[in-house]
Amino acid sequence: MAYPLNIAHRGARSLAPENTMAAARQALAVGADMWELDVSVTADGQLILMHDDSLVRTTDARQRFPDRAPWTVTMFSLAEIKQLDAGSFFVETDPFGTIAAGTIAAPTQASLRGEPVPTLAEALVYTRDHHWRVNVEIKKTPPPLESFPVVKQVIELIKSLNMAEQVLLSSFEHRYLQTAKALNAQIATAALIEQPVTDPLTLLQQLQCQAYHPHYKLTDSTQIKALRQVGFEVNVWTVNRPEDMAYFTQAGVSGLITDFPQALPLSW
């Protein structure tokens, strides 16, 4: 069967640091049909790519700004965040063992050092210009910007770039998805799931979502087939083991959210 969609989770983050343009370039290079990114907000209200509430794990914020603990992303301006190195942690920690395995050549490793934190606009423009697709996950905004209209800003940016058809909007914060639909009924949305859901069909109908994004341990072939039969996409995260890739492909998922898009064959 032709495989209809595979999503590279945070870009190809086993090949490059997550939520960076380097990860996007790698995901595109290995043939991922889509990439995923996480949206957060700076102190001055700018949309950037960042998974954690804190900058510590994936940047050198602790070293560059030693007096700014706990280094929460919402406490730093965009100008400050643009000073950070979001690539060296990947080379130094080798989170997926791909460096130790010899998958990433020394020159490539060197090029990742100093990789900047992208803005959402930069990421979307790259996606648009490469005629690609992106899964934009909106994170819950940490203090002190809990009331920041992050969904509105994301929707307006997507509209300004004329990219609605290239974007799938997802979130664990399901109220964000409802806000998105109220702002733009045409935007495709996906409900991220990290806890068991008794009736996913009703949930998707209530949220007016087009896709269901469960953790791979929270779904099975029966549920996947039932949702697919009534027109919903099912994209399962995070599927990194070959045996799980095979299982969910046979189950008929729309897509696999994975850190290893390079391990997915381009056809099945």
pLDDT value, residue 267: 47
The alpha carbon dihedral of 254, 209, 149, 51 has a sign of negative
Using an 8 Å Cβ cutoff, are 58 and 52 in contact? Answer: yes
pTM of the predicted protein model: 0.94
Is the CATH code 1.10.287.1770 the one for domain 7-53+120-263? Answer: no
Report how far residue 85's alpha carbon sits from residue 63's, in angstroms, rounded to the nearest whole number: 10
DSSP structure string for 3-57: ----EETTTTTTTS-TTSHHHHHHHHHTT-SEEEEEEEE-TTS-EEE-SSSBSTT
- In the chain, the amino acid numbered 75 is M
Helix axes of 242-251 and 221-229: crossing angle, nearest 10 degrees? 40
Q: Where are the domains of the chain?
A: 7-53+120-263
For residues 14-50, one letter each, b for 16 or more C-beta atoms within 10 angstroms of the residue's C-beta and e for the rest, the string is bbbbbbbbbbbbbbbebebbbbbbbbbbbbeebbbbb
pLDDT value, residue 251: 96
What 8-state DSSP symbol labels residue 235? E
pLDDT value, residue 17: 97
Beta-strand relationship, 47-49 and 134-138: unpaired
In tens, the pLDDT along 35-63 reads 999 999 999 999 999 999 999 999 999 99
Three-state SS at 134: strand
For residue 266, what are the CA distances in angstroms to 6, 28, 86, 117, 262? 9, 12, 30, 30, 9
pLDDT value, residue 2: 30
Give the number of other CB atoms < 10 A from CB of residue 63.
11
Radius of gyration of the chain (CA): 18
Report how far residue 88's alpha carbon sits from residue 80's, in angstroms, rounded to the nearest whole number: 17
Three-state SS at 255: strand
What 8-state DSSP symbol labels residue 91? H
Q: What is the pLDDT along the chain (268 residues), one digit of tens a residue?
A: 233 445 544 468 899 999 999 999 999 999 999 999 999 999 999 999 999 999 999 999 999 999 999 999 999 999 999 999 999 999 999 999 999 999 999 999 999 999 999 999 999 999 999 999 999 999 999 999 999 999 999 999 999 999 999 999 999 999 999 999 999 999 999 999 999 999 999 999 999 999 999 999 999 999 999 999 999 999 999 999 999 999 999 999 999 999 999 887 654 4
pLDDT value, residue 12: 82
Residue 117 burial (CB < 10 Å; 0-12/13-18/19+)?
Answer: buried
In tens, the pLDDT along 115-164 reads 999 999 999 999 999 999 999 999 999 999 999 999 999 999 999 999 99
Give the number of other CB atoms < 10 A from CB of residue 136.
28
Using an 8 Å Cβ cutoff, are 7 and 253 in contact? Answer: no
